[in-house]
Amino acid sequence: MGQAALAFRNLLIKAAVFVAMAALLAWAVGGTLFGSHRVNFPAVDWGGREWAAQVIGNGRQPDRVRWCLVSRAGEGPWQVHPSSDGGPWRDMIGPVADANGLRLAVATEQGGGKSWQLLTFSTADAAPAITPLAQEPADRRLPTH
């Protein structure tokens, strides 16, 4: 009985040291063991700022990612644009900038499906014009051959 207790205690000590070392390594490389991940996609220049799509996910549930629009002036920090505050976007295409403005398509969760909208910015500080695009049903299936 004494040998089993010593073996179990030894195993617990090794597990605790392993978790502590893993947490220290994650902290040293700038993250956490179970944190969320943010990735900025390539930026476009428009209106004197850089604009990019940012995907946010926790890495544990691949279907739980969300998107937002971020911008920055010069080398300043990235800031989440107020248009992203309406709720998490489940999908995003863009942004695309040209002489007519900045455009991006976003999808929000609607009854299990996705509702797509086109956001068009005429100037960098203006609220976007919103145009409904499509409703994607929840039971959408990919074609099989």
pLDDT per position in the chain (145 positions), as tens?
Answer: 688 899 999 999 999 999 999 888 877 776 655 655 677 788 899 988 899 988 877 655 555 678 888 888 888 888 888 887 666 688 888 899 988 899 999 988 877 778 899 999 988 888 888 898 888 776 666 555 5
Question: What confidence score (pLDDT) does residue 67 get?
Answer: 86
Question: What confidence score (pLDDT) does residue 64 get?
Answer: 65
- Closest by alpha carbon to 71, among 85, 86, 55, 50? 50
Spans of all domains in the chain: 1-33, 37-136
CA torsion angle for 89, 82, 39, 106 (degrees, to 10)? 30
Question: What confidence score (pLDDT) does residue 103 get?
Answer: 93
Residue 49 β-bridge partners: 46
Question: What confidence score (pLDDT) does residue 12 get?
Answer: 93
Neighbours of 56 (CB within 10 A): 16
Q: How far apart are CA 17 and CA 96, in angstroms?
A: 49
Q: What is the reported pTM?
A: 0.65
Question: What confidence score (pLDDT) does residue 102 get?
Answer: 92
Question: What confidence score (pLDDT) does residue 94 get?
Answer: 85
